[in-house]
Amino acid sequence: MSNPENGRVPVVRFAPSPTGYLHVGGARTALFNFLFARHHGGKFILRIEDTDQKRFQAEALQEIFTSLKWLGLQWDEGPEAGGEGGPYFQSQRTETYRRHADQLLAAGRAYRCFCSEDRLTRMRAEQEKAKMANGSGYDRHCRLLTEAEVAALLAANAPHVIRLKVPDDRAVVFRDLIRGEISYDSAQLDDLVLLKSDGFPTYHLANVVDDYLMRVTHVLRGDEWIASTPKHMLIYEAFGWPPPLFAHMPVILAADGGKLSKRRGAASVLDYQRAGYLPEALLNFLVLLGWAPGGDREIMTLDEMIAAFSLERVQAKAAVFDETKLEWMNGHYLQQRSEESLLPEVMVCWEKLLLPLPAALADKAYARRVIGLFKDRSKKIIEIAENSGYFFRDPAAYDPQAARKYFKRETLSILELLSEKLAAQEPFGREALEGLYRQVAEGLGLPAGKLIHPTRLAASGVSSGPGLFAMLEVLGKETVIRRLQNARNWIAAAADTKE
């Protein structure tokens, strides 16, 4: 399948810089790239933009890989995957960038700039003071250097950068696939730095050179890059290369309308994993932030997203990250999942929560049944583990409020009677147990609730949870009777101290 825009099989790339963890905004950009590539039968490249040595973090790199894999966004080319366009770390391509910067120098489209940081700072301060209406930015001081001056400075080993010669006063126009035509006046643009004095390229140079060399057809990136795009257009032009197509994704905002940050709701992708979210839920939620397939469809598998995805339907407006809806969606996907598939992840939570580890945890079949009791009433994986502790050890205490309500003196005899009946009950299945309870209640002339609530509290220590009879069935006869006895003794002791 070829794409409708320029007839070539699309090649896209996700190009994070390893300066921090992959957060949901980045994940959404990666997702849109992935969906676009898959929809058109194209290629999805992962490229690491690590040209800023000062901000590089090795852990961040690992986390980016782990996050993308967890979400199921497998890249076709990139680190670990290989490919013809490699290497995929920009820090390993510095020779390439230098060569290309030289090429621009030779063509007279760029020049060496020896200005010190000091001079630049002073210049900016003066511009600030003069409140220059426009055209603030580098004053092009070194553009006027003669060849002899440059040669002398070079001979003296003077540190320098390479800057692009930006044309004076011209419209730079490009078409954003989501917003339409966007135009900038080149007079607004700086003579931007292409190669830094440490020999590393700036984002702008590396980005353009790599996108060209890797034959990228569509640049789908966050909309904070819109203002950089005219600069990139000028670089393509200086090289004489045809530019790719651009589409800028709207940003994702925090609930208060501000920027997404760790402090404000949006953590890294892996934090959502740790918090008990399912990848399919996060993906489905994220795809709806800035895109909709049309109509009323919301719940979609990855394959359905791929089939329906199109850039034309991507929203231009920033979207607010609504954690509540994510939770709802996660609950939905939790219900869809089998007990079996949930087991490893719930087990991790149990192992953290239940120390020392109860022997019952080793019984996989039992664990699966417990999960079955909780997955439909939970929103996150962690909740399944948090609320099910009593399936692995007897309650250490009873919820005080519930105890006041359900553990009364007259409950004593009820629990005793129930213990007796339960001991004789066979089979110990949920329907049979319910039948037994209704029968006993009737015999006593009491509403079934009078039996059910104390039993629940005795068996679990809390007053909320799965249906009582399903719970008793999973717990098993021996455990249930033991807990009923424990509760009986507890009530008796409480009654004594009161007197």
Q: Which positions are catalytic?
A: 262
Compare residues 62 and 335 and give the one whose CB is closer to RNA.
335
* CB of 346 vs RNA, minimal distance in Å: 16
Alpha helix locations (H) across 354-467?
Answer: 364-374, 381-387, 400-406, 411-424, 430-444, 449-460
Quote the least distance from Cβ 170 to RNA, whole Å.
13
Spatial distance between the Cα atoms of 92 and 400, rounded to a whole number of angstroms: 64
Q: Rank residues 80 and 117 by Cβ distance to RNA and give the closer one.
A: 117
Report the alpha-carbon distance of residue 4 to residue 34 in Å, rounded. Answer: 17
Q: Nearest distance from residue 295's CB to RNA, in Å?
A: 6
- CB atoms under 10 Å from CB of 440, counted, come to 18
Q: Which CB sits closer to RNA, 9 or 306?
A: 306
Helices 364-374/468-475 angle, 10° precision: 170
Distance CA 453, CA 185 (A): 74
CA-nearest of 262, 329, 245, 261 to 289 is 329
Q: Residues 155, 129: contact at Cβ < 8 Å?
A: no
Closer residue to RNA (CB): 73 or 287: 287
Distance CA 169, CA 498 (A): 91
Cα four-point dihedral sign 257, 253, 384, 393: negative
Beta strands in 177-324 (DSSP E): 180-185, 193-195, 218-222, 245-249, 252-253, 319-320
Instruction: Report the nearest approach of RNA to the CB of residue 142 (Å).
Output: 10
CA distances for 54 relative to 19, 51, 200, angstroms:
9, 9, 12
d(C-alpha 296, C-alpha 467), whole Å: 34
Cβ atoms within 10 Å, residue 58: 9
Whole-number minimum distance, CB 309 to RNA, in Å? 12
Q: Which is nearer to RNA, 9 or 470 (CB)?
A: 470
Which residues are within 8 A (CB) of 215 and not within 5 positions of it... i.e. 6 or more apart?
Answer: 11, 85
Kindly list the distances between the CA atom of residue 118 and the CA atoms of 121, 122, 154, 158, 318, in Å, as whole numbers in the listed order. 5, 6, 20, 15, 38
Least distance (Å) between residue 483 CB and RNA: 15
| Number of residues that make up the chain | 499
- C-beta of 159: minimal distance to RNA in Å? 6
Dump the DSSP string for 236-253: HHHHTPPP-EEEEEPPEE
Structure tokens at 87: 């290497």
Q: Which is nearer to RNA, 335 or 489 (CB)?
A: 335
For residues 140 and 215, which CB has a smaller minimum distance to RNA in the complex? 140
Q: Report which secondary-structure segment, H or E, holds 483.
A: helix 477-498
From the CB of 487, what's the least distance to RNA, in Å?
A: 16
Measured in Å, how far apart are the chain's first and last C-alpha atoms? Answer: 84
Nearer to RNA, 464 or 492 (CB): 464
At its nearest, how many Å lie between RNA and the CB of residue 207?
7
Q: Of 157 and 497, which has the nearer Cβ to RNA?
A: 157
- The answer to whether the CB of 325 falls within 8 A of the CB of 265 is no
